[in-house]
Amino acid sequence: MDPDPGTWWLRNAPLREVPAALGKPDPAAALRQWRRSWPRQEEALSLLVRDELFTFVTYDETAYYWLSARTTQVAFLDQWRYDPPIPAYQAA
């Protein structure tokens, strides 16, 4: 999606805001609205705490955007380790 137009790191970017067409769905605005809504975030957290699936669906004229999350349990988390990638070749 697109970032919030007021985002500090976009201050000097050569961008311009394109107003949403009246009556047309705006999925990025819907996602930003969800992010700013504490009750809706609390609802999502409540679902995750109960080990239920959280979904957020929005759409525009071309696609549906589906955000979903579910809690997972990872066994043997303390045994995970980082294995650095093996280089394709080593310089001589």
Rounded Cα gap, residues 75 and 2, in angstroms: 36
**pLDDT (tens digit per residue) in 41-83:** 999 999 999 999 999 999 988 899 999 999 887 666 565 666 6
CA distances, 55 to each of 14, 46, 48, 50, 62 (Å):
34, 12, 10, 14, 20
Q: What is the pTM of this model?
A: 0.58
CA distances, 68 to each of 7, 13, 19, 29 (Å):
25, 31, 28, 18
Whether 38 and 44 have beta carbons less than 8 Å apart is answered as no
**pLDDT (tens digit per residue) in 2-26:** 676 677 887 777 766 666 666 788 8
Rounded Cα gap, residues 34 and 41, in angstroms: 7
Whether 54 and 47 have beta carbons less than 8 Å apart is answered as yes
